[in-house]
Amino acid sequence: MATRGIRIVDMKIITFGELLLRFSPSHYAKIREQEHMIMNVGGAEANVAVSLSNMGLDVHYISRVPSNELTQFCIRDLAKNLVKIDHMQYGGKRLGLYFVESGNSVRSGKVIYDREDSSFAEITPGMIDWEEVMKGADWFHWTGITPALSLGAAYACQEAIQKAKELGLTVSGDLNYRKKLWNYEKKPNQIIPGFIDKTDVLVCDVNSCEIMADVKISRKEAPYAEQLEECFQALHKKYPNLSLSSSLMRDILNHSHHCIKGALYPGGKITYAEPQDIYPVIDRIGGGDAYMSGLIYGLIHYKEDLEKVINFATATSALKHTIQGDFNSFSADEIKALMEGGKNKNVER
């Protein structure tokens, strides 16, 4: 029996970031040729929240949004997925938007952001009572997208991470480097190291670690797995408070055919997941967020069994690639079935 909507563990998780409205052409059309767009709700931290909620966890999502009909559309979608928004902040004039042109076969995808001067980008420290928000909470999740939006958003996220550590929450982060968003006076490596210092679980790749965490990789011509191993070792040496690092490795055969596997580093030796071959890729947006949510769920439920943790995270991401939109709507039971090899080709009746 699927567990979607059933609270299965006494664990309160908080995610914090910008709520977005996404517009996409249908049937892999190009944006400039499309008269009608599909509208979905998204945003990295909202994606993590929805995915964890659909796995049965108690998730609270915090953002700052304008009070208008677009926000109401987004709020209804979060509520449908049982994400709690009791500490949502209202203010400002506009909701952040973005536009996705999906890749297909030999054609790569494209993302256009329209997030400047959004309600969330105008957030500042002190707007959110983190002491109140984090009452009874166990886990706090951030991404590197939030501090990319504005200096105020960066300091608000820093404030949240600091309070989470003071209150004894587990803190997870996903570096999520977005070159198009870092447009103010601070560089990523001037902001992010202070976040990582107070983070327990970090998802990253080699490129984001070099740019955001100030970790240098010497073996640039080596196979990526060797680069990643060096990256993890350097990361844990530079940030000794890190307990675990992880990365989603992706082999793109073409833009409709990916093979993915997770890597988990607790110090010492990397544990790799069984690869998941995905064809056709329906929508890769949100695949990394699904991986992050699967990692959090796995660490909560499988604890020291690192193989199960990383295989669950990889299976979560693989399933997300099979549906359109940002949100991962699969239950924990559906993910476990894939993780355990349940690739049933027949229709369930």
- Across the chain, the runs of DSSP E, i.e. the strands, are 12-16, 20-25, 37-42, 58-62, 64-65, 89-90, 96-101, 110-114, 139-143, 170-174, 201-203, 244-254, 257-265, 271-272, 276-278
In a domain, residue 5? The reply is no
Residue 141 has pLDDT above 90, yes or no: yes
Q: What was the pLDDT predicted at 21?
A: 98
Q: Which of 174, 209, 214, 170 is nearest to 190 (CA)?
A: 214
Q: 255-292 pLDDT, tens per residue?
A: 999 999 999 999 999 999 999 999 999 999 999 999 99
Question: How many C-beta atoms surround the C-beta of residue 70 within 10 A?
Answer: 16
Q: Is residue 344 part of a domain?
A: no
Note whether residue 133 is domain-resident.
yes
Going by pLDDT thresholds of 50, 70 and 90, the confidence category of residue 341 is confident
pLDDT tens for 173-214 read 999 999 999 999 999 999 999 999 999 999 999 999 999 999
Q: What is the DSSP annotation of 300-317?
A: HHTTT-HHHHHHHHHHHH
Domain count, the chain: 1
Q: Domain with 50 in it: what CATH number?
A: 3.40.1190.20
- Residue 11 — φ and ψ, nearest 5°? -140, 115
Range of the domain at 150: 12-339
Q: Does residue 84 form part of some domain?
A: yes
Residue 121: burial class (beta carbons within 10 Å; 0-12, 13-18, 19+): buried
> Is the residue at 238 inside a domain?
yes
Residues 21/102, Cβ–Cβ less than 8 Å: no
**Mean pLDDT in residue range 288-312:** 97
Which residues, other chains included, contact 106 with Cβ-Cβ below 8 Å and sequence gap of 6+? 254, 255
Q: Tell me if 7 is assigned to some domain.
A: no
pLDDT in tens, 11-27: 999 999 999 999 999 88
Average pLDDT over residues 318-324: 97
Q: Give pLDDT tens digits for 93-128.
A: 999 999 999 889 999 999 999 999 999 999 999 999
The pLDDT mean for the chain works out to 94
Inside any domain, residue 132: yes
Tokens standing for 199? 């983070």
With contact defined as beta carbons under 8 Å apart, do 3 and 333 qualify? yes
Please check whether residue 2 lies inside any domain of the structure.
Answer: no
| Amino acid 347: pLDDT | 60
Sheet with 110-114, strands from edge to edge, namely: 37-42, 20-25, 96-101, 110-114
Query: Is the N-terminal amide bond of 280 cis, ω within 30° of 0?
Result: yes
- pTM for this predicted structure: 0.94
Rounded to whole angstroms, how far apart are CA atoms 150 and 168?
A: 27
Looking at residue 7, its pLDDT comes to 41
